[in-house]
Amino acid sequence: METIQTERFNQIFSHWGRHKILILGDVMLDEYLWGNVSRISPEAPVPVVEILKDSIKLGGAANVALNVKALKDEPILVGVIGKDKNGERMREALNSVRITDEGIFAEDSRQTTMKTRVIAHNQQVVRADREDTQEISSELVDRIIDFVKKKIGAESPEQSRREVSALIISDYGKGVITLKLLSELIDLCRKNHIFIGVDPKETHFLNYKKVSLITPNHNEAAFAYGKKIKDEAILKEVGWGLMDKLEAEAMLITRGQLGMSLFERNQSLTHFPTRAKKVYDVTGAGDTVISTFTCAFTAGASYKEAALISNHAAGMVIGEVGTAQVTRNQLTEELKNFVKD
């Protein structure tokens, strides 16, 4: 599937931007140190990078929220930070882009995750991580569940129309997405007919049972199934095998230069060739896929249409260095060449 009908294109984008989307997961800061290399260190055989500028961006689940906002839907971000300087930076960064921090919980026993990347001549030289990966406390799990329930409106049975249209789970394995949290929220969303999209951590893969959509890359899918994807036949075996285990509605496997493959519960398999013209950096590409797919689906797109739209969005961001977001206007312009009567 490489094109979309004009009528469907107009229908989808006329309803786009009217939805509140919960994003739950591991929030982090991405720090970038930009510079040049002109010599090797006399202390060790490593390059000396002269830092010329630096920047801090929202990463992880916070980058998913940024993507949702850029696409004109309203993100409600839920995550955990430490009571530290980087936690304050996180709140400041969210407030600066008008994303509410009411769902950001602080825990004494952990530090706010920060990933520092040193980049010289558009090439990443090294990455340094500051993080804690132990599971959050059971008390904090309960507080998050209560927060999500209130946002969904699950505590008001008489409420016929839910305030939230979708839940995105962005799992980077930093301790926020516990088994109890997953099972309770998946059950809650299913009861309230709310779309659940998951950008998975491979080691937690089989915990995401009965979600609407899961978006592993090919390495994560291969790890979860226990078999390296070497060809089309193994791709199908892995895809359908995981679909059976997860009982999901759909799975979108991102395959780098080979594009994406969408497995649907109705036994439909659709391949999408890559739209990337150049590849500088895949940082945040998974965030773009899950956020764009969810926004498209809540606007009325089918799984295939949402995957096609997500494929184009991903092709746009991996041509940039660092985490990047696609705006709704940029996306509609990109897609106009693939709309047919």
> Catalytic positions, please?
287
Residue 80: beta bridge partners?
105
288 CB neighbour count, 10 Å cutoff = 26
SS3 24: strand
**Neighbouring residues of 106: CB distance < 8 A, sequence distance ≥ 6:** 80, 81, 82, 83, 87
SS3 170: strand
Yes or no: say if 222 and 230 are a contact pair by the CB < 8 Å rule: no
Distance CA(137)–CA(238), nearest Å, equals: 34
Q: Which of 266, 28, 19, 271 shows the shortest CA–CA distance to 133? A: 28
Q: Which of 112, 128, 127 shows the shortest CA–CA distance to 60? A: 112
